[in-house]
Structure 1
């Protein structure tokens, strides 16, 4: 049977339709059948998360394993907790930035990394076979609670220059998007001596204020508040806070690729060189900035587990995706919105410059992104291979032109195709994007 349940980031689907309590129960049995020892379980703030988390916990205990329930927590907080304690694995119930009707379940390894694609494939085999461990009545597991967020916030503060940040007394605005960051990012800011203004920093799985994904069109309120209170920085998170996007002191949104390039440059410079790992969907501005700083970029398929795996193999100094998902290997080999927030403050303090000045040195490209409905991913990929024989098929099809590039790839989490286009000027980028849209629609309708 083809692997179909586990996508780029675990199992996702519409809650109680595609991702049911019965499936969550079996996923709990699966992780307990694969890993011996205590398993930590956390969740985001979605309405369906308590139901699914309870089912996962029941599955773990039915297989004879003990579980620690850490409640509502950012995904990187759960991952850091697993890495830092005696837990042998973790499960996070979250659909990250997906619409509110979705939810997901993702497995975490003992070192805090997301399950690799190979580990997900193994988990799917166990899940489909239904060959779970089943404990006797007197050997079922138990569950206890712990505060993963406390462990996580302390871990972040131990990895940044708290003194130099605290001296600046920065004014920051935090938009948690009614997600799990509500319990962590305001606390990080407080302990860094920031004067803090919060918006949407209370958990609400209906996402009443804005859509969960912290892209520019969803954070207009943050931009306005930054200007109104004359803040030094604005930060926005997605539902599970593994991503962070930023607004500078002028109220301007800084693109995710530029932030990735800026932080990659910072890490390469302070390490005297080194490797930076990022997917094929990343802007060329990252490679330009890294090369100028004396480093090297290695490209991977899209997906943070793939990036983290290659970072570990290559002993990379930094890595991440151009969607606000930055990876700080000295802390955790996973995307981390809270650490991103703290590190941007550290960079501003050490350079003694506002964010708008820091990003001026990053080369400028126009990057456009869109998505098109796609319910037949195999047909799309076959059509792309026939249409673009010379493309790079590391992940989807990346077609490089003399004056830009185009990437078309099926999503691993939604029934869509993602299209990326980049060029030095907007006119050319729009032309490439339209070319991508037309090609996808033509392939799918033929």
Structure 2
């Protein structure tokens, strides 16, 4: 994980007493003859001309992007390297720490680094030390992929064949790196026998329904505002009428067939997914061989993004009514010179609910503006978000006043019943919306 790599970098600094960048240069780069790579940000003047430009593809054209500064999670993702330098690094690993007369790791350390550290299930790929296991066409590989916004890379080693693979893309989502790698492996190291064709069993539907549901990934922020990214990371698992399992992940759809109870293999591939039950026989988690560094947790109904989208939509509708509808109605009464209520309390109640709703709406606007700046979100905390987080706290205080006026509205019979009900719904929306914000760490500055 990025966090694990960053933590390891910090440990290196504490133990060595020198900056991580300097330690790597003296103990890894120099022995391997690596001269065109660095963890330093921004790039040193001597290396800047070597840097590839990252691109985005918009409106039918490629747009050049600036150098990405990974301030928040460096050294994870902060290495700028060329393919020839990565080749030296891979050769050192394939030779268990040695490169020519130089050595960056003891042989036993390198072998230990390449071995399995942890696996969710023995039937699927696990995690090595800094690498992920990858089984394909009877081969055992170790690999690691990496992504920034504009660059998408993959490094893989086949120790038994003394082969290393490295590819990097400077635009797009980088999905074709896997297709390219699989084509390479199929060409040079085809499977010894064709993949067995699996057909859905006649009684599979009951088990398919058992594993069906909405899943979320464990690789996310749990204590900071970045948890909001989980709204976009839901995985839907559902049965098909043909007896296969359809898995919808962001940007991709895959189909699986049952290999054995709670174990499924990709219909047109070699990927495996294993589901696990709790002590009461309920499926609660899934593990995919393609992503050994995370688990997929089955979400309860109140944890599912679609439920939260529905809540947010209904709350926004009620907030708009309170923030805009009532003031416009008051303005209309004034223009038309209609009779104004003698009791000031109902008017104060409406304005308080409108102010509370306005705070929530303003926060949502600032949140959307903050998240639209990809660079700021990826490599820091958006300044607009820091300001925007004031408004939910103000709204939280105002909710107390709205609750008091709701009580008075029913006791003293402000307005007609329908309007009292609307006011009550706005209070409920305020309370529920505060819960949603709390769920996603958006109450207070949890940055």
Same fold judged by TM-score > 0.5?
no
**TM-score (normalised: structure 2):** 0.24
Q: Which of the two has higher C-alpha Rg?
A: 2
Per the normalisation by structure 1, the TM-score is 0.25
Query: Higher RCO, 1 or 2 (CA under 8 Å, sep at least 6)?
Result: 1
